[in-house]
Structure 1
């Protein structure tokens, strides 16, 4: 959320939890939507002692698949 907050630009955080009664599995989806269209997030290589810039590394390590989706109603993307 810290990355997504740029003065003058909106963002949205969405969390959904979906249970599959047939398999007993649960899916958790976390989405961050912002109004920036000029770039798609990239994985960074922070210094070992850095206190920030590990968010997408954690997402990539924990998610089985992820990507970006352009916003339909307004400029921006959802990660």
Structure 2
């Protein structure tokens, strides 16, 4: 699911909608950061929530969060 697309003009879920998708197991991974790695545009509260509640892993130079494994804060 794209969150805002490359320019931020694509539709994106609200934080509450995103949290519901994660809880339902409909979204498993989040790719953070700007540019083609994701995280550009859309609702920045989603990225903040993910960063606060899940552990980052670097995969091929991109920051990836496994949304099935909350950290101690989540």
TM-score (norm 2): 0.28
Q: Tell which has more relative contact order, 1 or 2 (C-alpha 8 A, sep 6+).
A: 2
Q: Whose strand fraction is larger, Structure 1's or Structure 2's?
A: 1
Q: Whose helix fraction is larger, Structure 1's or Structure 2's?
A: 2
